[in-house]
């Protein structure tokens, strides 16, 4: 009786399926929204993003660097991770290619071989009298010890890499505060006058004009010096976001009311792209991250172009004031001595 009812239920389902499909096809098509128009509409609702002044930086101090194709961005047809340009990224890439991938291939081939061997060796024609063996101590030891050894080989470098990713930044490291908004990023530089850069996704036309990939290019970039650890303080103003740069092996959640800290170091000058990697609302896919890595001199010029301060610049005027004050004091003492001698 039960099988009879199941058959009727299945038949009714098959009969109703074409009706449901035709009803679905009859639904009106969803309106096509132009991303640029949507961006303008969202900008009207988020005045903080639009009221921030455009960069308009002095070309003598800073000109945006053009990206290098295939560096810091996805590549069509690539089946591997993006090329890595950070110390942790290079280590992680090596672990994947030298340890994990060979082990996965080896274990898969071994299991496939054993499967075919069992099918052929113990088929009915070759083995009319099946074995009644239930235990084999030697085999049980092998399939217990070998997986343990595999896990140990994987665990040692993996735990070391995990610890390296969360080592604290040096005391003299540059600090950048990253704030995720719906749906754009803000970059503050407390060590350089605490100015903030507001970063929005560029339109397709503007990205093409600057030779950058669409939906990855941002109008204002986060700029850091090359080869130096940068302490990123990551938070959010509204919902959870995630700051991710694949080619630097960097990803950390931005949580409202909490500041997460992690070190970012990129060892090659260039432009590196990422995206928000935590579903954060309607325009989640329009929150690109663009990081420009420059030499120390160019980075300092970029800071000056944004109205920020550089440590050396602050010390020079102070030294000049001290020297001037000392000179004036010496002159006053000499004049006083001359008056005293005259009297």
Query: Which tens digits make up the pLDDT trace of 49-100?
Result: 333 334 467 788 888 999 999 999 999 988 899 999 999 999 999 999 999 9
CB-CB neighbours of 307 under 10 Å: 10
Summarize the confidence of residues 29-46 as an average pLDDT. 41
Q: What's residue 311's pLDDT?
A: 84
Residues in the chain: 343
Which residue in the block uniquely carries the two structure tokens 């003598």? Answer: 60
Summarize the confidence of residues 281-302 as an average pLDDT. 95
Task: Please tell me the distance from the alpha carbon of residue 245 to that of residue 266, in angstroms, as a whole number.
Answer: 11
Task: Please tell me the distance from the alpha carbon of residue 156 to that of residue 91, in angstroms, as a whole number.
Answer: 13
Q: How far is CA 312 from CA 57, 144, 174, 202, 223, in A?
A: 21, 62, 14, 34, 19
Summarize the confidence of residues 202-229 as an average pLDDT. 94
Which residue in the block uniquely carries the two structure tokens 């009319």? Answer: 128
The first and second tokens of residue 323, run together, are 């020297």
Q: What's residue 27's pLDDT?
A: 33
Task: Please tell me the distance from the alpha carbon of residue 39 to that of residue 285, in angstroms, as a whole number.
Answer: 12
Task: Please tell me the distance from the alpha carbon of residue 221 to that of residue 63, in angstroms, as a whole number.
Answer: 11
Which residue in the block uniquely carries the two structure tokens 């991710």? Answer: 244
Is the per-residue pLDDT at 198 higher than 90? yes
Q: What's residue 35's pLDDT?
A: 41
What mean pLDDT is reported for the chain?
A: 82
The first and second tokens of residue 263, run together, are 């070190």
The first and second tokens of residue 20, run together, are 């449901």
293-299 long-range contacts, CB within 8 A, separation 24+:
293/223, 293/224, 293/225, 293/226, 293/266, 293/268, 293/269, 294/65, 294/223, 294/224, 294/225, 294/226, 294/269, 295/225, 295/226, 295/269, 296/225, 296/226, 296/228, 298/62, 299/223, 299/224, 299/225
Is the per-residue pLDDT at 323 higher than 80? no
Q: How far is CA 272 from CA 193, 195, 250, 266, in A?
A: 25, 22, 11, 9
Burial class (CB in 10 A: 0-12, 13-18, 19+), 314: exposed
Is the per-residue pLDDT at 36 higher than 70? no
Angle at the Cα of 56 from the Cα atoms of 52 and 61, rounded to 5 degrees: 130
Summarize the confidence of residues 298-322 as an average pLDDT. 76
Summarize the confidence of residues 202-224 as an average pLDDT. 94
- Of the chain, the percentage scoring pLDDT greater than 70 comes to 75
pLDDT class for 2, splitting at 50, 70, 90? Answer: low
- Tell me which H or E stretch contains 105: helix 101-121
pLDDT class for 5, splitting at 50, 70, 90? Answer: low
Q: What's residue 227's pLDDT?
A: 94
pLDDT class for 300, splitting at 50, 70, 90? Answer: very high
pTM (2 decimals)?
Answer: 0.72
**What three-state secondary structure class fits 181?**
strand
**What does the pLDDT look like over 97-139, one tens digit per residue?**
999 999 999 999 999 999 999 899 888 888 888 888 788 899 8
């Amino acid at each position: 009786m039960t099988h009879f009812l199941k058959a009727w239920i299945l038949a009714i389902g098959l009969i109703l399926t074409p009706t449901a499909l035709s009803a679905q096809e009859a639904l009106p098509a969803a309106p096509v929204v132009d991303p640029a128009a949507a961006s303008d509409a969202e900008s009207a609702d988020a005045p903080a993003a639009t009221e921030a002044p455009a960069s308009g930086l002095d070309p003598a101090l800073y000109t945006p660097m053009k990206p290098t194709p295939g560096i810091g961005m996805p590549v069509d047809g690539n089946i591997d991770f993006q090329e890595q340009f950070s110390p942790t990224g290079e280590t992680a890439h090596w672990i994947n290619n030298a340890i994990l991938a060979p082990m996965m291939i080896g274990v898969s081939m071994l299991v496939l071989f054993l499967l075919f061997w069992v099918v052929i060796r113990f088929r009915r024609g070759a083995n009319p009298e099946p074995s009644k063996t239930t235990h084999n101590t030697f085999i049980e030891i092998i399939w217990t010890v070998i997986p343990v050894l595999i896990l140990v080989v994987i665990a040692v470098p993996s735990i070391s890499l995990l610890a390296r990713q969360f080592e604290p930044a040096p005391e003299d490291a540059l600090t950048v505060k990253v704030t995720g908004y719906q749906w754009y990023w803000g970059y503050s530089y407390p060590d350089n006058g605490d100015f903030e850069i507001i970063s929005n996704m560029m339109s397709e036309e503007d990205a093409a004009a600057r030779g950058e990939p669409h939906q990855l290019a941002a109008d204002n970039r986060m700029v850091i010096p090359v080869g130096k650890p940068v302490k990123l303080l990551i938070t959010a103003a509204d919902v959870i976001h995630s700051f991710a740069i694949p080619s630097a092996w960097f990803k950390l959640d931005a949580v409202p009311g909490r500041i997460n800290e992690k070190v970012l170091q990129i060892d090659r000058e260039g432009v590196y792209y990422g995206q928000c990697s935590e579903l954060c609302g309607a325009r989640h896919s329009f929150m690109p991250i663009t990081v420009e890595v420059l030499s120390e001199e160019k980075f300092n010029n970029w800071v000056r172009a944004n109205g920020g301060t550089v440590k050396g610049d602050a010390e020079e005027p102070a030294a000049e004031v001290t020297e001037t004050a000392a000179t004036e004091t010496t002159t006053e003492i000499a004049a006083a001595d001359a008056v005293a001698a005259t009297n």
